Structure 1
Amino acid sequence: METVPDPNPTITKILPPELIGHIISHFCSHCSSGVEDDDKGANAKVLVALTHTCRHLRSIAMRILFHNLGPHLPSTYFFRVLDDQPDLTRTVKQLCLPLSTPKSSCIINDSALFTRLADKLSLNHEWTETTQSSVVDVEISLAMALCSGIEGLKIRILDDQITKRTRHFQLLYSLLENRKHEEFFPKLRHLDVDKTECTKFSLCDPEPILLLRCAPRLQTLILRGPGEKPARQNSDSAIQEFCASVTNIKDLQIEGMGPVITGSWQTRALERILGAAQNLETFRFVGVGSGQWRDYVSLIPAAQFLEFLNPQTKKTLRHLSLNFDRVRGRRNLSRRPITPHQIKQFTSLKTLEVDPSCYCTQSGSGGVGIDHFFSFDPSPQPQGSTPNIAPIFEQETYLVDFLPQTVQTLDHLLGQVGDVWACA
């Protein structure tokens, strides 16, 4: 007897699961590169809504929802779903922390749930009873521990996450004590540490060192600092541990670091770190101003800064970006810009992004006329005529000679309006 076809078949009966999954994956920023940051929250709501339709769609949408987790998802929802479906931890590819944390329903307030999750991680019960860590810090550590198979991690660290009696990621430290010979993040390739809202910042802060120690196969490291707020540190052991973790890094980006001052601990740390990163293909450095520092403070010139890089990177480096942000009010810059000979030693360079201090010797602003930098006097010209200064600029500018022939893209980072630079 022939079966009568359903006159109103559902989409799950018409389309194979693979095709449904492909359609739904367009709402996932991990699966679809076209998803913008502003759309992630809305797309997460769509995926959550799909999990409430039917069992079949839920099983597909939930796995895709957990590919990329971030602030658009409440932490309580995240932990309760993982408590019910622990296998979903294997589907998490990227974490953006902290998750949003409703104060009225945080994970610590649900002692039964917290205990079950702690048991899954074999966490010492004494720690759960005595911890002084903040709610956000506990949830960040718990999320990282449960999803240790992630490929990408972006983490924003705030000063108010920590009390005077504890340290960041105390839960993670406790777990590592029982896993001394085990790789905690064996698949982690991309790490972004954001400390832009912290009152102090150091390259060798304990948080990035801990995460680097846990991720032996890391390829990309991004450090974001708060600018001119250096922490007072002088720990050589911290520098050594950091250096040991970056030898295989291919992409290193440092943003929001204060002025690179001659002789400072921060500068020495940076020099040793760059010297240890021998396999770099991409290096990006963005300083944040030097306006607070008086003219007698000696800054590392661009040519010397470039010498910090490991000699092996002259063959491997493909993308270089240097923005020292030195235009603001500094007129006594050291006259050691990067030379054409120096930059052309990087034989694989494809993309170059530089600010004027990288190849210019003087700066001026605040009413300093352009004639200050050149030997000609434009004033004795016939009234109403425009002086022809094009030959002067051609003589004083050597960007064409400066560029290596391998460079395909050049981005010139200009300063504030009114800043004038003279090239070497």
Structure 2
Amino acid sequence: MNQDAFFALADQLESELTGSEVLFCSLDGEVSDFARLNRNRIRQAGQVRAAALGLTLIDGARQADGTCGLSGDPQADLVRARHLLTRLRTRLDHVPDDPYLNYSTVPGESQRQVGEEAPPAEEAIAELIAAADGLDLVGIWASGEISEGLASSIGHRHWHRSLSFNLDWSAYLEADKAVKASYAGFHWDAGPLHQKLAVMREGLRVMARPARTLEPGRYRAYLAPAAVGELMDMLAWGGFDLKSHRTHQTPLLKLVRGERAFDARVNIREEHARGLTAGFTAEGFIKPAGVNLIEGGRFGDCLVDARSGREYGETVNAAGESPESVALEAGDLPLSEALARLDTGLLIGNLWYCNWSDPNDCRITGMTRFGTYWVENGEIVAPVRVMRFDDSLYHLLGDRLEALTAERELILSAQTYDGRSTDSALLPGLLVSGIDLAL
């Protein structure tokens, strides 16, 4: 469903409201190409065309919401939407007042597009298969358009459209020996793909050597952006939302109280204006261009969604409780010099199965798994057997942080649970004087 059709449907529904009813209409749609690869060949391919209409009916302090699928046929979609609206009216008679009901009463309009036309999936995948000749490559390609719309009887008319591609893959050597990589963005350029595959081939060559077994202990390490992404995902789990802070359940409580700090070079920002997500919330609030979450190693501002904003009397600045377009500020270490600066220690390409081991100390545990190597004198010499790490971010982003790379990598979420995710991260690599390996 396009912008005009969505707004026309909303106009029709709004004309049928009665009394003091307020209606918010939202649209989530996508036209996506998908392809799954195994042994460097396409095993499954297809296109998804989907659109869902969300309705929130409000009367006084009561609200009811629901969703229905859309077919693209205006008359059929109007019938479905009317049926949903009728069901919400019936439900509204039986729900209590919502003490945290919060929506924008200021009408407004916006229109934004991110990215350009994605490359034809056939061309991009053909280039991948040719460039990865000889590799046992397994992965998934996703590309296309994601649309989000919002309309209300108050006068909101917002539209957001993003076009992106995301290639997530691994190349296997044997058994559990593999190297993982991803390439995503808004503008297709085959150059980075070829560069990543060249690095992957070198990684597989090293992985064929006998693996090194490390004793538990603290090791100097360089964490690639993909590994840093896992750390950021953990911080997003209760680290920045207002409710977790006000109820003292955030893992950053010691940071907020001033008892601990990150390195002064650590600046983390939610960049609404950069990411794939819409610049408005489902309740009609306009997001600021960005929110400074960590400034100079100290805690900055919380993310405040509509319900928490009502509960705690704060200004809404986000659609949900966790970052959707997070960015960690770059440093001054050229990526080309990262291993030379590491000298001897671990190159950690990815982290896996992360969880809090002690949230009160911001301590995380997880596995190294694929793509971890032992480095000597700035040269990769051997793969490292899978190890478990257990360490605090107050160390990895604090007193043991030596440098952040000057280059950053854009990482788009590959999740497709409720449609293609619009979450993204812009991250550098980290050089740390030590990471604790537990076993």
Q: Which has the larger radius of gyration?
A: 1
> Is the pair's TM-score, using the shorter chain for normalization, greater than 0.5?
no
Bigger helix fraction: 1
> When the two structures are superposed, what TM-score results if normalisation uses the length of structure 1?
0.21
- TM-score, structure 2 length as denominator? 0.21
